[in-house]
């Protein structure tokens, strides 16, 4: 359920952005603007470059776009309890002394723990046996991933981003409606013709080719 909650909130944030761009005067431009927003959000998600390494003012994109917030909690919800209760997990790891060559330490983020290695597997394929260990191991390369629970904060950011896009959509819609001419009531029906007017109309219709 947590995975779907994060994924659903993530999609709602982009849906609100799509509503905003749907107000563009040209459909193709609106589509391209939304595509540019998605790609920019992906680039500044923290997967490739950490937030701290992005220079200002470009760093603002790492805060106001939803991809980074959704990705961090999505993978946490997917892996944080995997194999922790003793069921499941990856059985290809073995404990070792962190001081030995080829032994990975659990203290990737400063937390003490025993080391591990994967017999028969190269080091680049050895990430751990349970979810938190795997998250911290991969997080040593892709810093956006962590075993730390940031679910509440990430959902808060996603909801705030969705609300901001929705507010911009409503403001833009209101401004467009104010620019349109006020609809006018159609003119009343003409009074029926009688007397000389009716006779003249009939005469003109009779002589028309």
The token pair that represents 170 in the structure block: 């409503």
Whether residue 116 contacts residue 128, with contact meaning beta carbons closer than 8 Å, is answered with yes
pLDDT tens digits, 7-32: 899 899 999 999 899 888 788 888 89
Q: For residue 138, what pLDDT is reported?
A: 77
Torsion, Cα 75 76 77 81, to 10 degrees, reads: 120
Q: For residue 112, what pLDDT is reported?
A: 46
Inter-axis angle of helices 2-21 and 151-179, to 10 degrees?
Answer: 20
Give the single-character DSSP code of 99.
T
Q: Residue 41 and residue 63: Cα distance in Å, rounded?
A: 10
Q: For residue 110, what pLDDT is reported?
A: 40
Q: For residue 109, what pLDDT is reported?
A: 43
Beta strand residue intervals within 25-181, DSSP E? 94-96, 104-105, 115-117
Residue-level pLDDT, tens digit, the chain, 209 residues = 788 888 899 899 999 999 899 888 788 888 898 888 888 888 888 888 888 888 888 888 888 888 888 888 888 888 777 766 656 666 777 777 776 676 776 654 444 456 777 777 777 777 777 777 778 777 777 778 877 788 888 889 999 999 999 999 999 888 888 776 666 776 666 566 555 555 554 454 444 45
Q: For residue 79, what pLDDT is reported?
A: 78
Q: Residue 153 and residue 206: Cα distance in Å, rounded?
A: 83
Q: For residue 183, what pLDDT is reported?
A: 67
Q: For residue 163, what pLDDT is reported?
A: 93
- Peptide bond connecting 107 to the previous residue in cis, omega within 30 degrees of 0: no
Q: What is the pTM of this model?
A: 0.69
Q: Residue 10 and residue 12: Cα distance in Å, rounded?
A: 6
Q: Which residues, listed in sequence order, are joined to residue 111 by a DSSP beta bridge?
A: none
């Amino acid at each position: 359920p947590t995975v779907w909650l994060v994924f659903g909130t993530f999609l709602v944030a982009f849906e609100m952005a799509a509503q905003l761009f749907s107000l563009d005067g040209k459909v193709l431009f609106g589509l391209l603007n939304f595509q540019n927003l998605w790609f920019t959000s992906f680039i500044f998600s923290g997967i490739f470059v950490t937030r701290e390494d992005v220079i200002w003012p470009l760093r603002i994109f790492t805060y106001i776009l939803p991809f980074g917030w959704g990705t961090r909690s999505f993978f946490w919800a997917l892996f944080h309890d995997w194999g922790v209760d003793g069921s499941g997990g990856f059985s290809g790891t073995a404990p070792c002394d962190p001081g030995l060559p080829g032994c990975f330490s659990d203290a990737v983020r400063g937390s003490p723990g025993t080391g591990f290695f994967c017999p028969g597997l190269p080091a680049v394929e050895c990430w751990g046996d349970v979810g938190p260990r795997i998250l911290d191991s991969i997080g040593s390369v892709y810093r956006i991933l962590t075993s730390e629970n940031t679910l509440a904060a990430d959902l808060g950011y996603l909801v705030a981003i969705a609300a901001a896009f929705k507010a911009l959509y409503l403001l833009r819609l209101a401004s467009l409606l104010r620019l349109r001419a006020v609809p006018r009531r159609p003119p009343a029906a003409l009074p029926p013709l009688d007397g000389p007017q009716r006779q003249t109309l009939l005469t003109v219709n009779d002589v028309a080719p």
